[in-house]
A = this chain, B = another copy of it.
Amino acid sequence: MSGQQFASDNYAGICPAAWAAMQEANTGSVVAYGQDEWTLRASDALRAAFEHDAEVFFVFNGTAANSLALASLCRSYESIIAADLAHIETDECGAPEFFSNGAKLLTIRTDGSGKLTPEAIRAMATGRSDIHFPRPAVVTITQPTETGILYSLDEIRAISATCRDLGLKLHMDGARFANAIAALGCRPADMTWRAGVDVLCCGGTKGGMGIGEAVIFFDRTLAEGFDYRCKQAGQLASKMRFLAAPWVGMLRDGVWLDYARHANAAATRLAQALAGIPDIRLVFPVEANAVFVSIPPQAALRLRERGWLFYEFIGGAARFMFAWDAEEARVDALARDIAACVAQ
């Protein structure tokens, strides 16, 4: 590829903060399987960032983080309430069902927002109570959603109140958690445990690490046995320091949020540059680091011919995702190329 691409925030490499911490950690003998100082430091750094004595686990990727967390919150014969656009439903190749040994995802239509509401959760959870229906045990929300939209703190609180009322646990898929925090300008605690979230899968990879996600249990009793679960499921790193150290680097001085703000700003920059171009349309409000833009098919073809990579989602919208490394000049070039392709 001849220049920076925005098809996915997974296209970005390892950020300087994560890299430096890995380098620092790469010294001498270190005890394996997470009994080392780096794992402790990373856990403590997350606990400090979340202002909570949470139980923290480091796993390899988001598929495993979400699937294992959900599996720990339900039994195989129970179900998970999720948005129709939830990544665990659309893009995990049956991973939640595999790790939970059969828990069913009950999906709710969200008309593109990917956001659940208390009403929809209640309707789904109380609609049936017979033995032939897998009783709901967990609700999962994605913050920001797969379409780049944010739940407000009030919305999360309302959902968690409904969950508590119905005896459901609340899980948050935070693959791009830092982007949400940066966008809302709130404290991580406010968006999670103070709002009633039981377990957070906090993304590291999309935020700038090479590999690794954190599973954070705010209710420690729910974490019982999770270490064994990770081990059995192939998610216990032997040289754990290399999964943990990047978190130390990212959380130092709030660097992770700086990166997230940078990524979000790039999305806003693109959105603003596209405003006013005729024949194209932002499909969803740009609230975090994603831009979904509806481009006429011929223009989209031309854009690809100019070397731009992007996915098409939900009725043909082109998706652009920005990471910690987004170059302003390149964002501007993309905007210009879109305009040119549409005008052509």
Interface residues of chain A, those whose CB is within 8 Å of chain B, are 1, 3-5, 7-8, 10-14, 19, 22, 25-33, 59-64, 67-68, 75-79, 90-95, 97-99, 101-104, 131-135, 205-206, 210-211, 225, 227-229, 231-239, 241-243, 309
- Docked-complex contact A233 and B29, CB < 8 angstroms: no
Q: Which of B25, B79, B206, B234 contacts A234 (CB 8 A)?
A: B234
Q: Which of B4, B12, B134 contacts A232 (CB 8 A)?
A: B134
What's the nearest-Cβ distance from chain B to residue A176, in Å?
Answer: 12
- Docked-complex contact B103 and A13, CB < 8 angstroms: no
- Docked-complex contact A95 and B232, CB < 8 angstroms: yes
Q: Which of B28, B75, B131 contacts A33 (CB 8 A)?
A: B131
Q: Which of B11, B19, B98, B227 contacts A101 (CB 8 A)?
A: B98
- Known contacts: A1-B28, A1-B29. The answer to whether A228 contacts B93 by CB under 8 A is yes
Q: List 20 A-B contacts (CB under 8 A).
A: A1-B28, A4-B29, A13-B239, A60-B237, A68-B234, A76-B94, A76-B101, A77-B94, A77-B225, A78-B228, A79-B94, A93-B132, A93-B231, A97-B102, A98-B101, A98-B232, A99-B234, A134-B232, A205-B238, A210-B239
Q: Which residues of B are found within 8 Å of A64, using beta-carbon distances?
A: 234-235
* Top 10 A-B residue pairs of the complex, sorted by shortest distance between their CB atoms: A64-B234, A98-B102, A10-B32, A91-B132, A77-B228, A97-B102, A210-B242, A101-B101, A10-B238, A77-B232
How many copies of the polypeptide does the oligomer hold?
A: 4
The DSSP consensus for interface residues of chain A is: loop
Q: Which residues of B are found within 8 Å of A98, using beta-carbon distances?
A: 76-77, 101-102, 232-233
Q: Which of B12, B27, B63, B132 contacts A92 (CB 8 A)?
A: B132
Alpha-carbon distance A177/B40, docked complex (angstroms): 31
Q: Which of B4, B28, B228 contacts A134 (CB 8 A)?
A: B228
